[in-house]
C-alpha cells in the first residue's frame, strides 16, 4: 500500500456549521463552580470515560484476511482550576490506555497535559495556553501504522473589551509535530515525511446586538512548514462570520458561514 494524498491542490469552499440548543446553555458558566473537590482557591474534578470497548474486526485495516481482536479504550482525567484574584489557571491531565488482548504491539499509553492561564482586567484579558501531547496512534485515515507522535501546541493572545457591546480577541498559535524516528509506512519514514511546524494568527470581533444575540467575525491565517523542504508546505486562510443566540433566546445556538482558501507551495502534490 502507498501513501495517498486526499487533499486538493487549492480550494475555496463554503464552511457551514449549525449547532442548535444545548451548547449555548453552558455559556457563561464557570466549570470550577461545579468542581467535585474544593480547597480554598483550588478546585478539581476527576473523571473516567471508556470511549470504546469490544471487538475490532480489522485491527490493521487489511483488505484481505483481516485480523480481529478485543480492544478497550480507557481515559482517566483530572481537570483543575486555580483562582488567585484576577488570575485564572486551568490544568487538564488525561491518560488514554489503548488495550489490545492479542496484538500487544498495538497497545499504548497516551498522555495529554494542557495548561491555560488568563488575567482578567477591566480593559481586557491576556491569555496563554500550552499542551504537551504524546500518542501512539494512526496519524490519519490514510496511514495504517500506529506511530508515536509528539505535539506541542501553544497559543497566546489578548481579549480586548471595547465598551459593553464589542470584544476583540487577537491570538497567535504555534505547534511542532514530531513522529518517532523508527516509525515507517511502507518504505517511507513518517518522521522525514510528516514532521512539521505550524504558525497561526487569528482575530475575532464580537458585537452584542442585543443581550441574547451576538454577531461575530473571525479571520485566521495558518502556515504549515515541513521539517524537510517539501511541496506539502501550505498556507490556509479562513474568514468566518457568525451569529450566536444565548440560552435566553427563543432559539439558542450558533450559526457560522465562512470562506476558506488553501494554498500549497506545489499544487500538483495534492492532485496526485
The pLDDT tens digits for 147-197 are: 889 999 999 999 999 988 999 999 999 999 999 888 887 788 888 888 999
Q: Which pLDDT belongs to residue 5?
A: 35
Predicted TM-score (pTM) of the model is 0.77
Polymer length of the chain? 272
Q: Which pLDDT belongs to residue 4?
A: 32
Average pLDDT, the chain: 85
Which residues lie below 8 Å from residue 217, measured CB to CB, with a gap of 6+?
204, 205, 239, 240, 241, 242
Which residues lie below 8 Å from residue 174, measured CB to CB, with a gap of 6+?
153, 154, 155, 197, 198, 199, 200
Q: Which pLDDT belongs to residue 272?
A: 56
Q: Which pLDDT belongs to residue 271?
A: 58
Average pLDDT of span 45-61: 91
Which residues lie below 8 Å from residue 43, measured CB to CB, with a gap of 6+?
32, 35, 37, 80, 81, 82
What band does 28 get if pLDDT is binned at 50, 70 and 90? low
Which residue has cell 490519519?
140
Average pLDDT of span 123-144: 87
Q: Which pLDDT belongs to residue 1?
A: 37
Amino acid at each position: 500500500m502507498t501513501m495517498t494524498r486526499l487533499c486538493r491542490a487549492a480550494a475555496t469552499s463554503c464552511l457551514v456549521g449549525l449547532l442548535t440548543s444545548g451548547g449555548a446553555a453552558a455559556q457563561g458558566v464557570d466549570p470550577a463552580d461545579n468542581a467535585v473537590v474544593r480547597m480554598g482557591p483550588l478546585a478539581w474534578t476527576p473523571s473516567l470515560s471508556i470511549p470504546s470497548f469490544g471487538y475490532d474486526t480489522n485491527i490493521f485495516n487489511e483488505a484481505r484476511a483481516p485480523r480481529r481482536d478485543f480492544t478497550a479504550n480507557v481515559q482517566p482525567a483530572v481537570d483543575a482550576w486555580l483562582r488567585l484574584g484576577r488570575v485564572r489557571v486551568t490544568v487538564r491531565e488525561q491518560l488514554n490506555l489503548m488495550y489490545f488482548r492479542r496484538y500487544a504491539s498495538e497497545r499504548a499509553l497516551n498522555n495529554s497535559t494542557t495548561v491555560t492561564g488568563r488575567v482578567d482586567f477591566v480593559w481586557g484579558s491576556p491569555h496563554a495556553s500550552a499542551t504537551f501531547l504524546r500518542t501512539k496512534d494512526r496519524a490519519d485515515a490514510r496511514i495504517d501504522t500506529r506511530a508515536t507522535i509528539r505535539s506541542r501546541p501553544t497559543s497566546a493572545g489578548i481579549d480586548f473589551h471595547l465598551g459593553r457591546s464589542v470584544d476583540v480577541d487577537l491570538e497567535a498559535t504555534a505547534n511542532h509535530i514530531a513522529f518517532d524516528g523508527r516509525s515507517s509506512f511502507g518504505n517511507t519514514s513518517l518522521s522525514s515525511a510528516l514532521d512539521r511546524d505550524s504558525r497561526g494568527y487569528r482575530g475575532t470581533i464580537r458585537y452584542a446586538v442585543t443581550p441574547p444575540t451576538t454577531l461575530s467575525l473571525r479571520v485566521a491565517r495558518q502556515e504549515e512548514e515541513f521539517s524537510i523542504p517539501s511541496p506539502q508546505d501550505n498556507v490556509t486562510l479562513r474568514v468566518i462570520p457568525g451569529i450566536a443566540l444565548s440560552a435566553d433566546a427563543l432559539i439558542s445556538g450558533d450559526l457560522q458561514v465562512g470562506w476558506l482558501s488553501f494554498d500549497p507551495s506545489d499544487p500538483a502534490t495534492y492532485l496526485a
